[in-house]
């Protein structure tokens, strides 16, 4: 009996991610959600520019590689012309919260019936460790070599908090993949974000706190600790918006 296998929606190819990077876990969770819901046949994934730029090679559904930050606009074009597809974007913090802020905010404002998987690891990974819009105060990066100074570089953006103010957002939750318990919870959240789209509820965004050992200059274990000790207090886990929960409250 097989007790552990590759999800069918995940391609049988080696991933290019660095050792200790949590992208691989999140890819698996997305693929599992697609499998569980049985929608790989009608799913179109939008890959970003950033470390997950090759995501188009890793999923067994149709894939489009978007320009930096434009994934929500490309996804809008796909979904609006093909409402029966299941469309997700997979974006990092520079892609979603810096160069693509307008596309993100307005896809949410319009309530596009999409699923956004947002990887927040506080850094630009692919280009080699530059400051991200989500980099922590005091965080040393190659473009904030003396530590992020709020007076100079401003404060990190809390994406779920910001987007949850928009009426078009059905579901916004921040999760983490730093430990098995949180990974299991993240899977539930991601699956719900896809289910919401199938149920035509509007936009769901799952922000996943992730690690970048290579660019943080830490070991994988140290990275997980940094995520828990530094990121989580600034980026609290939890549901920031859930239109279903609201209905239950009434």
Partner 1 sequence: MSNKVLMKGNEALAEAAIKSGCIHFFGYPITPQTEVAEYLAKRLPKVGGLCLQAESEIAAINMVMGAAATGTRVMTSSSSPGISLKSEGISYIAGCDLPCVIVNVQRGGPGLGGIQPSQADYNQATKANAHGDMHVIVLAPSSVQEMATLASEAFDLADIYRVPAMILADGALGQMMEPVDFDAKESRELPEKNWVTNGHGGKRKKNIVNSLFMDPAALEASVIERFQRYEVIKENEVKYEEYMTEDADIVLVAYGITSRICKSAVIAARAAGIKVGLLRPITLWPYPSKALGKLADTAKHFLVVELNMGQMVDDVKLAVECRRPVSFFGRTGGMLPTPDDVVEEIKKIAGGIA
Q: Which residue among 22, 43, 182, 214 contacts partner 1 (CB under 8 A)?
A: 43
Q: Are strands 130-131 and 115-120 parallel, antiparallel or unpaired?
A: unpaired
From residue 103 to residue 132, the character string flagging contacts with partner 1 as x (rule: CB under 8 A) and all else as - is x-xx--------------------------
List the one residue out of 71, 78, 110 whose CA is nearest residue 94.
Answer: 71
Listed in sequence order, the DSSP H helices in 118-179 are: 150-153, 159-163
Rg (CA), the chain: 17
Q: Which residue has the tokens 């876990």?
A: 25
Q: Using CB under 8 A, which of 21, 31, 51, 86 touches partner 1?
A: 86
Window of 25-33, 84-92, 200-208, 239-247 that interacts with partner 1 by CB under 8 A? 84-92
Q: Residue count at the site for partner 1 (CB under 8 A)?
A: 37
Q: Give kind and range of the element (H or E) at residue 223.
A: helix 220-226
CB contact at 8 A, 173 and 189: yes
Residue with smaller CB distance to partner 1, 106 or 228: 106
Site for partner 1 contains 102 (CB under 8 A): yes
Cα–Cα distance for residue pair 199/242, rounded to 1 Å? 14
Q: Given the complex with partner 1, which of 112 and 178 has the nearer CB atom?
A: 112
Contact 210, 164 (CB under 8 A): no
For the segment 52-81, give every residue that binds partner 1 (CB under 8 A): 53-54, 56-57, 59-67, 70, 73-81
Residues that bind partner 1 (CB under 8 A): 40-44, 46, 53-54, 56-57, 59-67, 70, 73-82, 84-86, 102-103, 105-106
């Amino acid at each position: 009996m097989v007790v552990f296998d590759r999800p069918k929606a995940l391609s049988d190819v080696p991933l290019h991610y660095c050792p200790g990077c949590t992208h691989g876990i999140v890819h698996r969770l997305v693929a599992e959600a697609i499998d569980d819901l049985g929608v790989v046949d009608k799913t179109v994934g939008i890959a970003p520019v950033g470390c997950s730029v090759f995501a188009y090679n890793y999923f067994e559904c149709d894939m489009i590689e978007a320009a930096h930050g434009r994934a929500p606009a490309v996804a809008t074009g796909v979904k609006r012309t093909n409402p029966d597809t299941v469309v997700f974007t997979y974006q990092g913090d520079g892609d979603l919260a810096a160069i693509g802020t307008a596309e993100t905010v307005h896809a949410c404002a319009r309530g596009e019936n999409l699923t956004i998987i947002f990887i927040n690891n506080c850094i630009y990974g692919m280009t080699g460790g530059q400051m991200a819009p989500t980099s922590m105060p005091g965080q040393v990066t190659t473009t904030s070599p003396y530590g992020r100074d709020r007076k100079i570089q401003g404060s990190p953006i809390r994406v779920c908090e910001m987007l949850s103010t928009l009426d078009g957002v059905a579901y916004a939750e921040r999760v983490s993949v730093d430990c098995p318990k949180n990974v299991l919870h993240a899977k539930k959240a991601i699956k719900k974000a896809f289910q919401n789209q199938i149920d035509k509820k509007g936009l769901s965004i799952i922000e996943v706190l992730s690690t970048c050992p290579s660019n943080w200059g830490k070991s994988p274990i140290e990275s997980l600790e940094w995520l828990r000790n530094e990121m989580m207090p600034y980026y609290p886990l939890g549901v920031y918006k859930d239109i279903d929960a609201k209905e239950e409250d009434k």
